[in-house]
A and B are shown apart, each in its own frame.
Chain A
């Protein structure tokens, strides 16, 4: 049973398109996250939701919009894709209200390539 799953695994698209990445967790966790890993493997948090409420919103272009329809799902929609958006996007989840001590469980990643 996959704990944190993401779809699609690979996404290749043209500049200017709009795309979505979906994330689901079956761990019963209350908090979910999106991270971006660039070509140099550097990981940076983008957003976090606790029980469908946004609790962390880093300085991310407003072309990126997270949506949490319920606490088991956190989707990432990206408008007007740019070359610099090419990266691996990781979803994660943690139990509880998103405390700094909580362990985060990561999904397998979605590799986005913008041409």
Chain B
């Protein structure tokens, strides 16, 4: 069965530092890949997604992610962290050719300190 692994349940960075949140998936057939953000006591908001085409995907709020098939990875990055980036980040996949059943990773809590 498809699974998603997010390395690091908590990541802490300084304001202005690089943000790197890791995501690996298990399927041998590349799935569709998503990153969602959840601010405290709110629902999830899509940051970006990869379906086909260019493997470097740009999203909202300055985030981007690169699909690397050889590494079965879809890591999320942002060059310079802002205090407002503090949130829970979820990587998710859905199977190509299937219904829109998102399978989520366990999430990474990003803390940004001054």
List A contacts of B88 (CB < 8 A). 41
List B contacts of A104 (CB < 8 A). 46, 100, 102
What 1/0 mask marks residues of chain A from 8 to 33 whose CB sits below 8 Å from any chain B CB?
Answer: 00000000000000000000000101
The residues in B between 8 and 58 inclusive whose CB is less than 8 angstroms from any CB of A are 31-32, 34, 36, 41-46, 49, 51
State A94–B49 Cα separation when bound (angstroms): 14
Q: Are B100 and A102 in contact (CB under 8 A)?
A: yes
State A55–B89 Cα separation when bound (angstroms): 27
State A107–B45 Cα separation when bound (angstroms): 9
Q: How many residues of A contact B (CB 8 A)?
A: 29
- Knowing A41-B107, A42-B104, A44-B104 are in contact, say whether A100-B43 is a contact too (CB < 8 A): no
List A contacts of B46 (CB < 8 A). 103-105
Q: Which of B41, B44, B94, B100 has the most C-beta atoms of chain A within 10 angstroms of its own C-beta? A: B100
The residues in B between 86 and 106 inclusive whose CB is less than 8 angstroms from any CB of A are 88, 90, 92, 94-104, 106
- Knowing A40-B106, A43-B90 are in contact, say whether A56-B101 is a contact too (CB < 8 A): yes
State A98–B102 Cα separation when bound (angstroms): 11
Q: Are A98 and B99 in contact (CB under 8 A)?
A: yes
Q: Are B106 and A99 in contact (CB under 8 A)?
A: no
- Knowing A41-B106, A43-B90 are in contact, say whether A108-B42 is a contact too (CB < 8 A): yes
- Knowing A45-B101, A99-B99 are in contact, say whether A106-B94 is a contact too (CB < 8 A): no
Q: Are A94 and B100 in contact (CB under 8 A)?
A: yes
Q: Are B101 and A109 in contact (CB under 8 A)?
A: no
Q: Are B44 and A106 in contact (CB under 8 A)?
A: yes
State A90–B96 Cα separation when bound (angstroms): 23
Listed in ascending order, the chain A residues whose CB lies under 8 Å from chain B are: 4, 31, 33, 35, 40-45, 48, 55-56, 58, 90, 92, 94, 98-109
**Contact sample, A vs B, 25 pairs, CB 8 Å cutoff:** A31-B100, A41-B107, A42-B106, A43-B44, A43-B104, A44-B104, A45-B102, A45-B103, A48-B99, A48-B101, A92-B44, A98-B100, A99-B99, A100-B94, A100-B95, A100-B97, A100-B100, A100-B101, A101-B32, A101-B49, A101-B51, A103-B46, A104-B46, A105-B46, A106-B45
